[in-house]
């Protein structure tokens, strides 16, 4: 007989499913649960309640005849001979060793829904229906307080204690001690979460898109794990003159520069490297060290600088600008790494030049002058304009002059011309029949604008100016139309005959 079978038999007083009747003179093995026989009262549950609960668990496993069979008589002497007497001072059941169910087929029976109270009520009702509840004392039922009947009542208590011990073990198995470090502040806590995300949700830790969590949120948790959380911080960074906003999980300026990959050696920083960065971020101006080449006065000067402007880098190189000197790039621009900047030595002077301003010709209608006749009333005179230029030399080479100013020194005078509007007469009585074309050919070769070598006579008929104007003409005769010149010649012939033309006058009659 196995130990389990022997224990099972003892617990049921030798009666139960698959149990053998006791043999005469047989001595059972010591009952491992006998030490609980003197436990006494069972607390709030009572000995009958626990026994009824046990019967509720066992009902379907018992032999069908067990429900109606009368209780067998106990054989106390067979057990009292070896039953150890518990000390009178023993009042509590030790919990160090879990109690094991006596029947193998009870180990996997789950507790009924509703907890222990529901189990007690269900067992009590079953027991009453089956008629197995006996409110009499141990002696009245034919047994002693520490006999097999008492040991049978102890079995449900052992099952309850084992169930509670198993739940405690499961509770301890799921509890994990983990270390969490939030922005450099570590602490140790206990959690039942299965992964990092569950732990963060339990601790109300919100994670943004710029925050760092190691290990990842879906990583499983085990006791002893360490979770590191670094919150993202905005950095409004100006790096070598370029503005941008970036994010960092570092809490110091030095850490942020390492994350950005910015070489801080020799750089100018607007904040100390050890300065802490709060959750609201920081404004950070960084100028890294650069190499700049200056070409001045025929020589090259190479400097390493973290200057903010070309002018500041020039000062660091020991190069001074005088007067109008400047550089090939704007002196206030940002110097770039590897940039070559030329220094321009500039000298300048002003020069003044006067130019002629042409006059305009103004024509006016004159009804006293025959049509086709223009008379110059006022001669035109040009004006004078003064121009001021800047002439510069850059590194000894003269540049294109630059106009600085312009002013009128003398205003020009317009030329005024009167244009005749009076109708020209068709002829002169007493002279129209003469050969005026022959006279014109002889005097001027038939040219209306002809002038003699002395400049005294002009026109077709070689009038002098006094005679012309005395005949009503204006201006000079050579400026008048040919028709007017013939008209004036006819008038002269009427008053003086052919004498004004002593050589060619005979042609009038030819």
431, pLDDT greater than 50? yes
- Say how far apart CA 12 and CA 66 lie, in whole Å: 12
pLDDT tens digits for range 160-216: 555 555 555 545 556 889 999 998 889 898 898 889 988 888 888 888 888 899 898
Q: What is the pLDDT of residue 159?
A: 61
Q: Using the 8-state DSSP alphabet, how is residue 59 labeled?
A: G
Show the tokens assigned to 206.
């919100």
pLDDT tens digits for range 283-313: 999 999 999 999 998 899 999 999 999 999 9
Q: What is the pLDDT of residue 152?
A: 65
Contact 354, 380 (CB under 8 A): no
Contact 274, 252 (CB under 8 A): yes
Mean pLDDT (whole number) for 423-435 = 85
pLDDT tens digits for range 207-230: 888 889 989 888 888 888 899 999
- Say how far apart CA 132 and CA 69 lie, in whole Å: 10
109, pLDDT greater than 70? no
pLDDT band at 396 (very low <50, low <70, confident <90, very high): confident
What CATH class does 290-344 carry?
Answer: alpha beta
Q: CATH homologous superfamily of domain 176-230?
A: Beta-grasp domain (3.10.20.30)
Q: Are β-strands 282-287 and 268-269 bridged in parallel, bridged antiparallel, or unpaired? A: antiparallel
CATH architecture of 349-417: Single Sheet (2.20)
Three-state secondary structure call for residue 160: helix
Q: Which fold has domain 233-287?
A: Ubiquitin-like (UB roll) (3.10.20)
What are the residue ranges spanned by the domains of the chain?
Answer: 3-171, 176-230, 233-287, 290-344, 349-417, 424-509
Mean pLDDT (whole number) for 140-153 = 55
Q: What is the pLDDT of residue 428?
A: 87
Show the tokens assigned to 291.
């190499």
Q: What is the pLDDT of residue 397?
A: 86
Core vs surface per residue 427-459: b (16+ CB within 10 A) or e: ebeebeebebebbbebbbeeebebbeeeeebbb
What's the whole-number average pLDDT of the chain? 74
Same fold, 233-287 and 349-417: no
Report in angstroms the alpha-carbon separations of 149 from 46, 65, 121, 200.
15, 20, 22, 55
pLDDT band at 72 (very low <50, low <70, confident <90, very high): very low
406, pLDDT greater than 90? yes
Nearest to 101 by CA among 166, 44, 24, 41: 166
In 381-480 the beta strands, taken as DSSP E runs, fall at 383-394, 397-398, 402-410, 415-422, 457-458, 463-464
62, pLDDT greater than 60? no
In the sheet where 361-370 sits, what is the strand order? 361-370, 415-422, 374-378
| Candidate CATH numbers 1.10.3720.10, 3.75.10.10, 1.10.530.10, 1.10.1740.10; the one for domain 424-509 | 1.10.530.10
């Amino acid at each position: 007989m196995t130990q389990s079978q022997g224990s099972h038999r003892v617990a049921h007083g030798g009666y139960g499913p698959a149990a053998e009747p006791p043999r005469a003179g047989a001595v059972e093995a010591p009952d491992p649960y006998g030490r609980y026989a003197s436990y006494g009262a069972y607390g709030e549950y009572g000995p009958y309640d626990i026994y009824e609960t046990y019967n509720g668990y066992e009902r379907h496993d018992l032999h069908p005849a067990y429900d109606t069979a009368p209780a067998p008589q106990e054989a106390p002497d067979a057990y009292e001979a070896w039953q150890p007497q518990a000390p009178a001072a023993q009042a509590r059941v030790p919990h160090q060793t879990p109690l094991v169910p006596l029947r193998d087929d009870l180990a996997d029976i789950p507790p009924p829904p509703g907890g222990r109270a529901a189990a007690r009520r269900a067992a009590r009702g079953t027991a009453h229906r089956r008629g197995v509840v006996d409110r009499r004392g141990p002696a009245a039922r034919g047994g002693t307080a520490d006999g097999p009947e008492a040991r049978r009542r102890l079995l449900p208590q052992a099952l309850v204690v084992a169930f509670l011990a198993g739940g405690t073990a499961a509770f301890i198995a799921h509890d994990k001690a983990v270390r969490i470090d939030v922005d450099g502040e570590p602490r140790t806590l206990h959690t039942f979460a299965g992964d990092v995300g569950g732990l963060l949700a339990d601790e109300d830790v919100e994670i943004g898109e710029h925050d760092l969590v190691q290990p990842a949120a879906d990583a499983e948790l085990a006791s002893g794990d360490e979770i590191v959380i670094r919150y993202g911080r905005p950095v409004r960074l100006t790096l070598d003159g370029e503005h941008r906003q970036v994010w960092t999980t570092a809490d110091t300026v030095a850490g942020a520069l390492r994350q950005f990959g910015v070489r801080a050696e020799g750089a100018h920083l607007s904040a100390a490297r050890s300065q802490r960065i709060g959750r609201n971020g920081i404004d950070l101006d960084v100028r890294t060290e650069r190499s700049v080449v200056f070409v001045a006065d025929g020589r090259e000067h190479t400097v390493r600088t973290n200057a903010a402007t070309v002018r500041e880098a020039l000062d660091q190189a020991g190069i001074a600008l005088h007067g109008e000197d400047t550089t090939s790039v704007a002196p206030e621009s940002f110097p770039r790494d590897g940039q070559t900047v030329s220094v321009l030595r500039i000298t300048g002077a002003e020069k003044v030049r006067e130019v002629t301003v042409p006059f305009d010709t103004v024509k006016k209608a004159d009804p006293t002058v025959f049509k086709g006749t223009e008379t110059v009333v006022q001669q035109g005179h040009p004006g004078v304009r003064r121009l001021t230029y800047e002439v510069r030399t850059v590194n000894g080479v003269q540049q294109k002059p630059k106009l600085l100013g312009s002013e009128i020194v003398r205003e020009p005078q317009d030329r005024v011309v009167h244009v005749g509007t009076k109708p020209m007469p068709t002829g002169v009585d007493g002279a129209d029949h003469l050969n005026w074309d022959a006279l014109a050919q002889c005097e001027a070769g038939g040219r209306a604008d002809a002038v003699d070598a002395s400049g005294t006579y002009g026109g077709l008929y070689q009038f002098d100016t006094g005679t012309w104007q005395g005949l009503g003409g204006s201006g000079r005769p050579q400026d008048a139309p040919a028709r007017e010149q013939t008209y004036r010649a006819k008038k002269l012939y009427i008053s003086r005959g052919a004498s004004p033309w002593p050589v060619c006058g005979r042609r009038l009659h030819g």
